[in-house]
Structure 1
Amino acid sequence: MIMISYVVRRLLYMVPTVFLISIVTFLIISLPPGDYLTTLIAQMRAQGGEVDQARIAALELRYGLDSPLWVQYGKWIGGILTGDFGESFQLNRPVTTVLAQRLPLTVMIALCTLIFTWIIALPVGLYSAIRQYKFGDYLATTIGFLGLAVPNFLIALVLMYVGYRFFGASVGGLFSPDFADANWNLGRILDLFGHLWVPVVVLGMAGTAGLIRILRANLLDELRKPYVIAARARGIPERKLIMKYPLRVALNPFISTIGWVLPALVSGEVIVAQVLSLPTTGPVLLSSLLSQDMYLAGSIILIVSVLTVIGTLLSDFALAWLDPRIRLRIGG
């Protein structure tokens, strides 16, 4: 009953939070000087073309850019509530169409990166804590520091060079040229998985290194606490002792990653996506911000923000289920 009231209360908090996020998002994309038409006019003049004032006026009327800010916000948020995210000025297509083309591959890359991160970080962090100051611990620590220190885009460039220089293959993109525009079939799926490991490894390096360090530090802290020492004195086997309590508490950071994984499903790593030519939403977001494509940029930012709220909510629920100390604080 306590958990049910906690869940309901947190869900109710989401409503005003999302509303405020939508206002802040719209202000972020609207307050910079000018708009898409200003950028378009500047580009036309830079190219020596004439500015058609009738076309500009028609575009202002079509997109409501001549209306007050609060009217534009009402039109934008009203459309989103009905499933209409507006039109992309730059691409001249519905925002929902643009997202539908980019979002599935973005989600797949992010989920694979999350699985890769957890599969590597959990056993390495556990081993590093149990074998403190051994060779394996020093090796894991060194690799962890390198993973945190080296930028992801630099790792991507190195992998691209190695792949081309020594294997004669390009690791950019998610498909080979023969399958880039092909229909979905077994060959295209296999080709996708043949290219998928590169962005997964690149994007997962920093997250894996960070989680290894966090898990090691948390587990070492738990292993020094009196309840662990008392359990050892009672003769509980070391493996059973570590798995039953200290590891469960040390796993909290892994559960907390849900809060940033969901927004990463949409935003992705923009610089890495640019370097590797990934067809994800990250480059689209960057391009829309540069061109002041307000409906496309605003929709992506809003989705990322809402997913952050949802991810934090799911993370809190999972932590309350995993850690009895949190449940006691909720009950208190």
Structure 2
Amino acid sequence: MFGYVMHRLFIMIPTLLVISALIFLIIQAPPGDYLSTYMAELQSQGEAVDPGKIAYLRAQYGLDQPLHIQYIRWIAALLQGDMGYSFEYGLPVNEVVGDRLLLTIIVSAATIAFIWIVSFPIGIYSATHQYSLGDYGLTFLGYLGLATPSFLLALVLLYFANVYFGISIGGLMDPVYIDAPWSWAKAWSVLEHLWIPVIVIGTAGTAGMIRRLRANLLDELQKQYVVTGRAKGLPPGRLLVKYPLRVALNPFVADIGTLLPEVVSGAVIVSVVLSLPTTGPMLLDALRSQDMYLAGSFLMFLALLTVAGVFLSDLALAVLDPRIRLGGGAGR
């Protein structure tokens, strides 16, 4: 186990380096940079642009250097915990992110918990009561959840909350707490507003997880060892939990690597619709304006979530499923 963990940790380093290079090249692919875009906007508004000032800013932030020099400087700064400077906000990226990253983590963790808590019992019920009225109803709701875009569900909830209840469900806290320091009152306000984005963002993931768990569990329940255990008179509950359910939980664990970044990145449009102060809208604006350091830091954060999630899911799968061995074919 120790050797496998060290090997995977060693592999993560070149993986993140390759991802960082791809992120940097993709952000730099459009012609120009943030300052070029900024100059074009000023000129379109009829304002004067000082070329000397633009050249000074480009030299100050290293935008006049070759791409490989800019990449090395960016990576070296990231390794030291410096995410760079946001041109659009005129502040270091560490200060710009601020509470947004914390709120993003809170929303993402709550959404993942919602997906697991809701899909787990529903998937088990649908598999153990196949073709029943409840199975058909839950299957219909699952397809409905998969077919409904998250942003459309957010718009519908906004409309009904405003028209029928006269309240606004946008944001993650009351306006009075937006720029206030953290306190118990602010935390409680976040919890009061959290359930709307969690339901909106987690609906599609919950529906998909229900379908996968139901299909996997149905497949396991029809295998020979389950039929043999049933013939020997094992109690249905013990027979279900002992092996079929344990093996059918593989998609729950295997999806950790993709679920974390999907929840963060997939909530961008929902965050815009619901006016959530998370990293999603900021990432979208940073990509539009070619704010390289801000966009690159966000994308590297998603990459780190993916790599770390896959690593954790592999370890958890080895513990959950006795058929999986960390050594692969090395011991044959």
Match of 1:90 among 68, 88, 91: 88
| Within-5 A mapping of 1:99-114 | 99-114=97-112
Give 2:187's aligned residue: 189
For normalisation by structure 1, the TM-score amounts to 0.96
Letter in 1 for 2:202: G
Distance 1:97 1:328 in 2: 41
Match of 2:51 among 50, 53, 57: 53
Is the alpha carbon distance of 1:265 and 1:150 closer, same or farther for their aligned partners in structure 2, counting shifts above 3 Å?
A: closer
Give 1:69's aligned residue: 67
Other structure's SS at 1:326 match: coil
Is the alpha carbon distance of 1:107 and 1:265 closer, same or farther for their aligned partners in structure 2, counting shifts above 3 Å?
A: farther
Tell me the alpha carbon deviations over residues 99-136 of structure 1, each in whole angstroms, 9 at most, x when there is no partner: 22310000000111111111100000000000000011
Distance 1:106 1:124 in 2: 27
Tell me the alpha carbon deviations over residues 51-108 of structure 1, each in whole angstroms, 9 at most, x when there is no partner: 1111101111111111111111111111111111110011111011122231000000
Match of 1:153 among 137, 151, 157: 151
Give 2:274's aligned residue: 276
Match of 2:133 among 107, 132, 135: 135
Tell me the alpha carbon deviations over residues 256-291 of structure 1, each in whole angstroms, 9 at most, x when there is no partner: 221123335754511000000000011111000000
Contact 2:83–2:293 at 8 Å: present in 1 too?
A: yes
Give 2:114's aligned residue: 116
Give 1:33's aligned residue: 31
The Cα shift of 1:140 comes to 0.7
Give 1:259's aligned residue: 257
Give 1:19's aligned residue: 17
Distance 1:34 1:104 in 2: 32
For normalisation by structure 2, the TM-score amounts to 0.96
Letter in 2 for 1:278: L
Q: Unaligned regions of 5+ residues in structure 2, if any?
A: none
Other structure's SS at 1:44 match: helix
Distance 1:123 1:108 in 2: 24
Give 1:10's aligned residue: 8
Match of 2:202 among 201, 204, 211: 204
Give 2:164's aligned residue: 166
Contact 1:112–1:200 at 8 Å: present in 2 too?
A: yes
Distance 1:267 1:206 in 2: 14
Other structure's SS at 1:236 match: coil
Q: Relative to structure 2, which stretch is displaced further, 126-135 or 322-331?
A: 322-331
Q: Percent identity?
A: 55
Other structure's SS at 2:177 match: coil
Contact 2:201–2:263 at 8 Å: present in 1 too?
A: no
The Cα shift of 1:38 comes to 1.2
Match of 2:211 among 194, 202, 213: 213
| Within-5 A mapping of 1:246-325 | 246-264=244-262, 266-267=264-265, 269-325=267-323
Letter in 2 for 1:173: G
Distance 1:29 1:266 in 2: 19
The Cα shift of 1:306 comes to 1.9
Q: Relative to structure 2, which stretch is displaced further, 205-214 or 181-190?
A: 181-190
Distance 2:243 2:9 in 1: 30
The Cα shift of 1:192 comes to 1.7
| Count of matched residue pairs | 330
Distance 1:108 1:289 in 2: 23
Distance 2:258 2:93 in 1: 24
Other structure's SS at 2:63 match: coil
Q: Relative to structure 2, which stretch is displaced further, 228-237 or 267-276?
A: 267-276
Is the alpha carbon distance of 1:96 and 1:9 closer, same or farther for their aligned partners in structure 2, counting shifts above 3 Å?
A: same
Distance 1:312 1:90 in 2: 33
